[in-house]
Amino acid sequence: MKSSSSYVSPNGPFCQSKLTFLSVLTACLLATNVTVWGQHETTVPQNAYGRNKISLNGNWQYFVDRYEAFFYDFVRVPFDSSAIGKRDFAALDGRAKDKTDRYEYSFDGAKELKVPGDWNSQVQELLHYEGSIWYRKLFDHSDLPIENKLLLYFGAVNYRADVYVNGKKAGIHTGGFTPFAFDISELVKSGQNSLVVRVDNKRAKEAVPTDVTDWWNYGGITREVSLIKLPNVYVQDYQIQLNPENLKELLGYVELSTEYTGPVTIKSEELGLWITLDFNNQQKVSLKKRINKPFVLWSPEHPKRYDFELSVSEDRITDKIGLRTIRAEGNQLLLNEKPIFLRGICAHEENPLKGRRNTSKDDALQLFKWVKDLNANYMRLAHYPHNEHMPRLADSLGILLWEEIPVYWTIDWTNKETYHNAEKQLSDMISRDHNRSSVIIWSLANETPNTEDRLVFLKKLAKKARSLDQSRLLSAALFKQNLGDGVYTISDPFAEYTDVVSFNQYLGWYESTPEVLDNAYFKFDKAKPVIVSEFGAGAKQGFRGDSLTRWSEDYQNDLYKRTLKFLDRIPNLVGFSPWILADFRSPRRQLPIIQEGWNRKGIVGQNGTYKQAFYTLQEYYNEKNKKR
Ligand code: GCB
């Protein structure tokens, strides 16, 4: 038995010994629902993507903990609550201190998983695994100058991460698609360090997303892990964009890690800008500056980005930012004050060729190659925030983006923790991407049934989104309602709270057969732009038949042709995004021979071959683009 006197609470003061057993237990269990928790949590610095980082990507050792034997004891008390003191978590890196130690697990000699990466596609037996896996990475570190900070940054972990550095708990994060960070300055030591992460991807009713979705629940450390070294005063956040009311003026702010007195500079040589913001015992100062030089507005045709450099004291960070405005006026969508039509497509963050989560820039480029071939100028990144390569590349390639959070189908609307979790994911997505010119729409929900509780939940989310970013549009993928005689509308009360009215519709697939589209009309009397956020049909690539043979490319193609005509009859339509770019894995889709665990609504097959509908849409977009 290890001595408890040397034991340091992994969970910080919250779980220290003066608390009673019960309160410790309650506190520790409560932690399962919160988004970030633990005394070392810290805000992710703006543009973590562009900072100098020490990568911890690569091979990590792991073991599968199907019965959670390393997290809970036999009466389901978490081990890492110190008052219970069942285990010295200094041994969490899985190595015995001496030969008298009884230990039943070890990372030494354990197999390895690649980070970033999902575990499902890396190990055959883990394809369907949903549960806990423990990961370890050893890394070397030399002492930090006392005035420096060391952040441990995760691009995303699905779904819950319990993070330990040298046996001490850094914290917990829940939510599978957004970045998080811990300040581990006080946890690291000179020499070899051990980083252990327990990843748990079990689905839960109260989680966001909830337990029922139509995509693969890839588990693991799916995005990059790195160390970020920062001076004490650093640029925590900034926003730089055009003033929507004056296209010659920059608007924004700079926020520092702490209150500060002194100058902060923002430089852009190409724009001829050298701005000094004087901080006077302040943490955040706003920015407003006229651009006197002529410059190129960012657009899909000219995705011009300008280099900006921000510096304060010893900190310096650079970013490439496109300058544009977006707003809705009446039935129109105005990009840089000119009407734009969104020639779109939906996508999951998945590589169909490899049957796994996207992890790299190359994976993202693969999706963009198809999107560019389609002559699209817009993507809906469904149904959760995608990795940061997507908005970065979209900025450089001139693709407009809709980003969304996984408030999908049946969220636990009345559960406070569920709301808190959704709001945190929304804030983290907005905060990560609020300098990306490609992102024009934040979407708050997908196909959520119309109830009073859901309206309360979504209204609160919309209010939050508007408080964080007034420069982009809000939307949600809603359901249409049938008025009879082939006329459809949106009567969802949440449409009042969005800037763009969007709806998913599956006429000809889930409802009837494609000819129903020939007499379908959409009517929406309010002066708002309309986006059709989904339509589509399943087709097995290479399977041919006539236009009424379900699952054939011909059926899908016929549905596309008829849907495109139906869409042309929608007066307020400013764009659409068919479902979906490529076939994707989904456990809901088990039709033998045809589906085999894949949703086949892609217009690109699992092997990368274009289906007939791809060419139909491509031709439509070519024509649409000519008419611009
Ligand atoms: C939808 C959902 C999407 C599904 C799709 C389908 O409406 O938004 O997540 O995958 O339908 O294929 O049924």
List strand residue ranges (DSSP E) for 313-377, in order.
315-321, 326-329, 332-335, 338-339, 342-347, 350-351, 356-357
Helix (H, G, I), strand (E, B) or coil at 87: coil
Residue 364: is its pLDDT beyond 70? yes
Q: How far is the CA of 266 from the centre of ligand 1 (A)?
A: 44
The string of pLDDT tens digits covering residues 424-434 is 999 999 999 99
Q: What average pLDDT is seen over the chain?
A: 91
Best residue for ligand 1 mutational test, from 534, 559, 591 (most atoms within 8 Å of Cβ): 534
Which atom of ligand 1 lies at the shortest distance from residue 383's CA?
9
108 CB-contact burial (10 Å; exposed 0-12 / middle 13-18 / buried 19+): exposed
pLDDT at 348 (0 to 100):
98
Question: What percent of the chain lies above the pLDDT cut of 70?
Answer: 89
- Model confidence at 11, pLDDT cuts 50, 70, 90, reads very low
Provide mean pLDDT across the span 441-458: 98
Which atom of ligand 1 lies at the shortest distance from residue 536's CA?
12
pLDDT at 105 (0 to 100):
73
| Residue nearest ligand 1's atom 4 by CA | 214
Residue 27: is its pLDDT beyond 80? no
Amino acid identity, position 462? A
- Model confidence at 30, pLDDT cuts 50, 70, 90, reads very low
Which atom of ligand 1 lies at the shortest distance from residue 504's CA?
7
The string of pLDDT tens digits covering residues 187-207 is 999 999 999 999 999 999 999
Token pair for 431? 């905060």
Sign of CA dihedral 124, 125, 130, 136: negative
pLDDT at 81 (0 to 100):
59
Provide mean pLDDT across the span 9-23: 32
Q: Could you tell me whether strands 246-268 and 378-381 are parallel, antiparallel, or unpaired per DSSP bridges? A: unpaired
Closest C-alpha to 172, from 12, 281, 302, 320: 12
Helix (H, G, I), strand (E, B) or coil at 379: strand
According to DSSP, the residues that pair with 121 across neighbouring strands are none
| Residue nearest ligand 1's atom 9 by CA | 214
